[in-house]
Amino acid sequence: MTIIFYDIPSATPEKSWSANLWRTRFHLNYKGLSYKTEWVEYPDIEPHCIKYGIEPTSNKPDGTPFYTLPAIHDPSTGIYLSDSFKIAEYLDKTYPDTPLILPNNTHSLQIAFSDAFTSKLDALWAFILPVANTRLNPASEVFFRRTREAAFGKKLEDVIPTGEEGAAQWAKFKAALGDADRWYAKSPGPFLLGDKPSWGDFVAAGYAIWWKIIFGEDSEQWKDIASWHGGRWKDLVDNLKEFILNYKGVPYKTEWVEYPDIAPLCKKLGIPPTTKPDGSLWYTLPAIYDPSTKTYVSDSIRIAEYLDKRHPETPKAFPHNTEGLQIAFTEAFTSTLVAPYPFVLPAVFAKLNPPSQEHFRYQRHMGKTVAEMLPSGEEAKAGWAKFESELGKIDEWLVKGGGKYLLGDKPSWGDFLVASYLIWFKVSWGEDSKEWKDICSWHDGRWKTRLDNLKEFILNHKSIPYKTEWVEYPDIEPLCMKLGIAPTHKEDGSLWYTLPAIYDPSTDTYVSDSLPIAEYLEKTYPDTPSIFPHNTYALQVAFTEAWQANLTAPFVFMLPLVHSKLNSASQRHFRRTREVWFGKKIEELTPSGDEAIVCWGKFETELGNADDTCWEIDQPSWVDFLVGSYLLWFKRVLDGDKQRWKDVEAWHGGRWKERLDNLKEYLGDA
């Protein structure tokens, strides 16, 4: 049954525009679930949700329920659900045979990433919200203006910063996105977890699409953002384009069929065969079934013809009566491209499941085994050069169009044909293969560009021996400078020598800062337990920032106690630096009376927020050690105020004590 997705429309050609709603649209497309969109204008959201029993996602400042989209209705289970994260959890649980949005128990890391990423956008709102208002339909525009002007306390037209202030705020936005870029840079692939997208990618890409749609693809703002950080944000959108919308926007779901099952399935369902060059019948995929007309159609050209006729209101595969020309182009393309097959078929064979491998081997025998197909030596050089030449001939045809696509600004059948071959080459050989890199470099990189244009359619823990050397606060900087240990940076960009630091005599390497140390250990000792399992580095770094930004209340209680526990040399240094930061004496930091009660209650709330996002997994990782280090700090420092530590132990079902207890085996000589 088809899921109903409730979205807010805009007056833009894309119609779907909101960053938060793009998350759910991504989820549905990524999972290949059949769905249709029902559009709800802003002032209609609350009555719509109340009518269908869709729960509010939060409360307004006055305590009344706040109803928001996205929301979905799944007729197969009868459920109505709002909140993009809850929807993601529901879809993963209800459709476990589809790609997971929250894989490997990363729920906590992903939601922390979402918070951390969103926190980087503070400087953006004043630029984009006034423009967003102009992209809405009249009914929503009135609602949006009224609510946002109330929030800003001024007219939307007066919100956008200009002049030096505007330049400074835009630079601040760029710098903040740079933090997120550094998280992504640690991933081994284009997405947070490597080669496959997950919740955090859909959050970031949802924002990026929002910027692109609201500012406009040709705007200076979007061009600016698209150029930042090596094109990171444009690339993220491009890498996810296949999950934005199918070209026609027609809901569909995929059923997978192994090679040997194709003919039996087609015969069973009455799907007509295509024809081989010798005139014999041949059952092939793709094929579709349209339940609205109870029609089966096979062969990609016939499917395109059917969809153009059945859905005339959608973008045409054969615009301007070009069907005859495009079919001729198809034959010219496929007859020109012959050289790559001996190279690509063995690679295809290696990627198939066993049932399809056997069928593939039998059907593609070519008078030799699959392994014997692959040319070598001079034959390989000549064959590969011929392939480049064949693509060169096709490239000459394509550049005659002078536009982004075969027929100009909009894609059509011929573009999809070309892209399907390019995707086949890329997937078969692998994105990092020499073969694919060759193709990407040929003909001024136009093959990669063409595919990109069409993507929317398509320590103790490690058991390493160590010993501890103790360094007093005032000795940290001299020691680091003496040993050549690199400084970290303060928020103002100035250098700052800090601990922890390690020296590894096996590589003669000094490393400072806990995160670079973790990275170093991960890389240098790959046969030990991973600190960043399942390619979760970026998510765990984002969790770190979210955790530290959330936890502010305890420091006024902790720092005076920390000071009292230090040796005299470190006490003097600690007092001098902290009193400069706070502008008062250490002894004056600790609140008392009602202020202390309120502040301690805030600390409990902050830990409660963090408790909601703590990662539950069988093996400890970076964030467990991060949380554990804070808990151990609280315990050691608060032992002079045992009631406060007992409070922390008792909060949230005793989970903080339990989390620290779970890490006892990793305390080493601490």
Mean per-residue pLDDT over the chain, rounded? 85
Say what angle helices 413-429 and 323-336 make with each other, to 10 degrees: 30
> Is 462-512 a CATH 3.40.30.10 domain?
yes
Integer Cα distance of 505 and 492 in angstroms? 33
What are 281-294's pLDDT values in tens digits? 788 888 988 888 99
Integer Cα distance of 270 and 449 in angstroms? 39
Region 323-347 average pLDDT:
77
The predicted pLDDT at position 245 comes to 47
81 to 6, 69, 91, 171, 594: CA distances (angstroms): 10, 10, 11, 38, 41
Q: Which H, E and C letters describe 342-399, residue by residue?
A: HHHHHHHHHHCCHHHHHHHHHHCCCCCCHHHHCCCHHHHHHHHHHHHHHHHHHHHHHH
pTM of the model: 0.64
430 Cβ partners below 8 Å, 6+ apart? 436
Predicted confidence band of residue 324 (pLDDT cuts 50, 70, 90): low
Region 155-171 average pLDDT:
93
439 to 413, 419, 432: CA distances (angstroms): 22, 13, 12
Give the Cβ contact number of residue 278 at 10 Å.
6
Q: H/E element holding 480? A: helix 476-483
> Is 3-243 a CATH 3.40.30.10 domain?
yes
Which residues belong to CATH 3.40.30.10 in the chain?
A: 3-243, 248-314, 462-512
Angle (CA) 439 442 446, round 5°: 90
Integer Cα distance of 626 and 384 in angstroms? 52
Range name among 89-98, 222-231, 272-281, 652-661 with the lowest pLDDT average: 272-281
Region 523-533 average pLDDT:
85
Range name among 54-68, 254-268, 288-302, 605-619 with the lowest pLDDT average: 605-619
Give the Cβ contact number of residue 429 at 10 Å.
21
Q: What is the CATH number of domain 551-666?
A: 1.20.1050.10
| The listed CATH number (1.20.1050.10, 1.10.3720.10, 2.40.50.100, 2.40.30.10) that belongs to domain 322-411+418-458 | 1.20.1050.10
Residue 127 clears pLDDT 50, i.e. is over it: yes
Q: H/E element holding 282? A: strand 281-282
Which residues belong to CATH 1.20.1050.10 in the chain?
A: 322-411+418-458, 551-666
What strands lie across the sheet with 79-82, from one edge to the other?
35-39, 3-7, 71-74, 79-82
The predicted pLDDT at position 537 comes to 82
Integer Cα distance of 452 and 431 in angstroms? 13
Look at strands 501-504 and 495-496 and give their pairing: unpaired
Residue 251 clears pLDDT 50, i.e. is over it: yes
Smallest CA-to-CA distance from 545 within 486, 491, 603 is with 491
Rg for the chain, CA atoms, rounded: 30
**3-class secondary-structure state, position 97:** coil
Q: What is the CATH number of domain 248-314?
A: 3.40.30.10
534 Cβ partners below 8 Å, 6+ apart? 103, 104, 106, 193
